[in-house]
């Protein structure tokens, strides 16, 4: 089992990479979202705002998560939730957590957020991208963008 301190040590470099290479990461991993952004205007990492959200979530602080304020080409503010999931195994509540963070951002700051996940696990089949439920008179289907780092590794013969 992974020690919490080991997780923090592993997550911290991802947070630093996202911060240092944010435009490049967005262009590479999420080109459709990147195309919405006015890269001539400054972007802002909202660490304190995200910590308020994460502190309240039962899963605790996620060191590699980033909340970023950017500007759309049309001039409107846009918030991005960038989540780097660093786990070697499936987490049953992952999609629910993505929805929870997204909803908490909307509820707390009255700002919709684009939610994006970078999945680092070794399972090629595991590709969470939505959280949903469906009852009479009530339905929710929350979809989020996700990419799998394994997809960028050249296949070995």
Taking only the tens place, the pLDDT of each residue in 92-148 is 888 998 999 999 999 988 988 999 998 888 888 889 999 999 999 999 999 999 999
* HSE (side-chain half, CA atoms, 13 Å) at 25: 21
Domain-located, residue 20: yes
Domain-located, residue 157: no
Which pLDDT score is estimated for 86? 64
Range of the domain at 65: 4-152
Which pLDDT score is estimated for 3? 44
Model-level pTM? 0.82
Name the domain count of the chain: 1
* pLDDT-based confidence at residue 156 (cuts at 50, 70, 90): low
Q: Percentage of the chain surpassing pLDDT 90?
A: 46
Domain-located, residue 21: yes
Whether 7 has a pLDDT exceeding 70, the answer reads: no
Which pLDDT score is estimated for 87? 60
* pLDDT-based confidence at residue 10 (cuts at 50, 70, 90): low
The closest of 10, 2, 104, 129 to 54, measured between CA atoms, is 104
Domain-located, residue 41: yes
């Amino acid at each position: 089992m992974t020690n919490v301190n080991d997780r923090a040590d592993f997550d911290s470099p991802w947070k630093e990479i996202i911060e240092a290479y944010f435009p490049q990461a967005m262009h590479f991993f999420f080109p459709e979202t990147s195309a919405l952004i006015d890269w001539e205007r400054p972007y802002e990492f909202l660490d304190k705002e995200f910590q308020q959200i994460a502190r309240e979530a039962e899963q605790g602080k996620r060191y590699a998560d980033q909340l970023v304020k950017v500007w759309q080409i049309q001039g409107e503010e846009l918030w991005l939730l960038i989540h780097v999931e660093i786990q070697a195994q499936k987490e049953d509540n992952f999609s629910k957590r993505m929805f929870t963070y997204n909803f908490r951002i909307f509820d707390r700051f009255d700002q919709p957020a684009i939610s994006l996940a970078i999945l680092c696990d070794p399972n090629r089949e595991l590709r969470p991208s939505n959280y949903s439920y469906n009852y009479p008179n009530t339905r929710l289907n929350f979809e989020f963008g996700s990419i799998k780092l394994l997809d960028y590794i050249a296949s070995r013969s």
